[in-house]
Amino acid sequence: MSYVIEGKTGSWEIVVGLEVHAQVVSKSKLFSGASTTFGAEPNSQVSLIDAAFPGMLPVINKECVVQAVRTGLGLNARINLESRFDRKNYFYADLPQGYQISQFAHPIVGEGTIEIELSSGETRKIGITRLHMEQDAGKLIHDQDPTKSMVDLNRAGVALMEIVSEPDIREPEEAGAYLRKLRQILRYLGTCDGNMEEGSMRADVNVSVRKAGEPFRTRCEIKNVNSIRFVMQAIEVEAARQVEIWENGGEVDQETRLFDAARGETRTMRSKEDAHDYRYFPDPDLLPLVIEQGWVDALKAALPELPDAKRTRFQSDYGIPFYDAGVLVAEQSVADFYETIAKGRDGKLAVSWVTGDLFAALNRTGKTIETSPVSAEALGKMLDLIADGTINGKIAKEVFEDMVETGEGPDAIVEKKGLRQVTDTGVIDAAIDAVMAKNADKVTEYRSGKDKLFGFFVGQVMKETKGKANPALVNDALKAKLDG
């Protein structure tokens, strides 16, 4: 293992498993028709079912089932044709029913795998234990009144997928890579927007430490960590805390902890003694969820191309390196942008423009690929202008910057600024003659063997033609004249 904690008594490895709560992208909630839009007025998206009024009953939303099954398929996981819903009972003000409807004993998705890539270039497979559907809770707001807490039930009943990994993770970096890869897959599938800041993806982190070859030791669960960076930090500090306890002859207690990012430490939230008894039992309001293999197969056939497959295809279709392909497929929108440009054009040239000039421009202007001032079509057209000799690579940079600034198309800019490449040999010859006349001494030097000066003459001719001369034509004509 590359990541070890060196303690007084030797080396320790860490064992990590992640439980990710991913909010399902769906128009309405898991068991009600209320909308799921983020950021609406408090309690404006609450049905009588979500507020658990007397006599209200849940009815499963098919769209959420579709999303869960698609996610399972995207994780190469087993789809369970029969799954069940259970009630997880506890009291809290954000939980109107007094229970969360979840899938405890019979989840809709079973074992699967995710392949992650580390910065070393090495890849690893992380096992998925299961994926199940459950309801999200509402939200308590504590800063509206000095003595009261307020409840917003907009989120209550929204569908979540809980995706549980095997305890296969051995490094903080692997945890980060796992979360990034999982988020990437969810976003490709369109089953979760993966937005950790808005809470639509949250992670519970299970951490334990052990000496090499030992069985697992007691683990602690760090609840609700809301960024990838914090997950990695939390693992580091929690593992260090546990090593210290073991090495001082103590015993790690199985408990639920919170990560305090500001202080860089984890703290007890609930000890084992205070653990809830959730009194799980099958929800008698819902029948077992039975789906058919044919239906699953149809969903599978309609899945979009996922990042790993796309990366491989980009390599072979566009002849670009593995690394570049990885950069492009990290976000589906970037991959799509690239592919719009690369299709039927020079794939290598396209990748250098996208990951070079375009990314730099987006960075500089604070935009994203979705809000890019230069559309994929426009950038493609610009590459066409290079390919057909209308502009050269140098002028292209100027055209591109103008496109970023004005949002105009490359044709219009070339016309407006008169940037069309000069291919008229008469004009080029005249420019060469003028340069040679102005620099008679250098011509003599060149002709007496100082052929390094060739570059100087090229530069001068380009300057004379305001950069618009076709460089190949300049080269040929210059060589002929100087050597003649």
Site residues for another protein per CB under 8 A:
48, 51-60, 87, 89, 91-93, 96-99, 149, 151, 277, 279-281, 284-287
**Beta pairing partners, 257:** 222, 268
- Nearest-approach distance from CB 131 to another protein, in angstroms: 22
Instruction: Give CA–CA dist 81/297, Å, rounded.
Output: 12
Instruction: Give CA–CA dist 120/292, Å, rounded.
Output: 42
- Nearest-approach distance from CB 290 to another protein, in angstroms: 12
CB 75 within 8 A of CB 112: yes
> Tokens standing for 248?
């001082």
The closest alpha carbon to 72, from 128, 6, 10, belongs to: 128
CB closer to another protein out of 286 and 330: 286
**Within 10 A of 4 (CB to CB), how many other CB atoms are there?**
16
- Nearest-approach distance from CB 263 to another protein, in angstroms: 27
Give the contacts of 159 (CB within 8 A, at least 6 positions apart): 23, 24, 26, 29, 30, 36, 61, 64, 67, 68, 133, 134, 135, 136
- Nearest-approach distance from CB 53 to another protein, in angstroms: 6
- Nearest-approach distance from CB 26 to another protein, in angstroms: 18
The closest alpha carbon to 21, from 119, 102, 96, 97, belongs to: 102
- Nearest-approach distance from CB 281 to another protein, in angstroms: 6
- Nearest-approach distance from CB 60 to another protein, in angstroms: 7
Residue with tokens 């491989």: 312
CB closer to another protein out of 92 and 322: 92
- Nearest-approach distance from CB 24 to another protein, in angstroms: 19
CB closer to another protein out of 87 and 170: 87
Give the contacts of 216 (CB within 8 A, at least 6 positions apart): 15, 167, 208, 210
CB closer to another protein out of 48 and 212: 48
Instruction: Give CA–CA dist 136/19, Å, rounded.
Output: 15
CB closer to another protein out of 89 and 315: 89
CB closer to another protein out of 100 and 165: 100
CB closer to another protein out of 101 and 192: 101
- Nearest-approach distance from CB 177 to another protein, in angstroms: 36
DSSP string across 40-88: PSTTSS--TTTTT-TT------HHHHHHHHHHHHHTT-PBPSEE--EEE
CB closer to another protein out of 14 and 49: 49
- Nearest-approach distance from CB 285 to another protein, in angstroms: 5
Compute CA distances 154 → 18, 26, 138, whole Å.
Answer: 27, 14, 6
Instruction: Give CA–CA dist 26/160, Å, rounded.
Output: 10
> Tokens standing for 476?
């040929």
CB closer to another protein out of 153 and 209: 153
**Assign residue 199 a region: left if phi > 0, alpha if psi is -120 to 50, beta otherwise?**
left
CB closer to another protein out of 140 and 360: 140
- Nearest-approach distance from CB 361 to another protein, in angstroms: 51
- Nearest-approach distance from CB 213 to another protein, in angstroms: 33
Give the contacts of 334 (CB within 8 A, at least 6 positions apart): 327, 328, 354, 369
CB closer to another protein out of 278 and 359: 278
Identify the helix (H) or strand (E) that includes residue 357.
none
Instruction: Give CA–CA dist 70/36, Å, rounded.
Output: 19
The closest alpha carbon to 350, from 405, 316, 322, 387, belongs to: 387
> Tokens standing for 83?
């799954």
CB closer to another protein out of 61 and 421: 61
**Beta pairing partners, 125:** 115
Instruction: Give CA–CA dist 176/174, Å, rounded.
Output: 5
Instruction: Give CA–CA dist 390/70, Å, rounded.
Output: 47
- Nearest-approach distance from CB 368 to another protein, in angstroms: 40
Helix (H, G, I), strand (E, B) or coil at 256: strand
**Within 10 A of 370 (CB to CB), how many other CB atoms are there?**
9
CB closer to another protein out of 88 and 181: 88
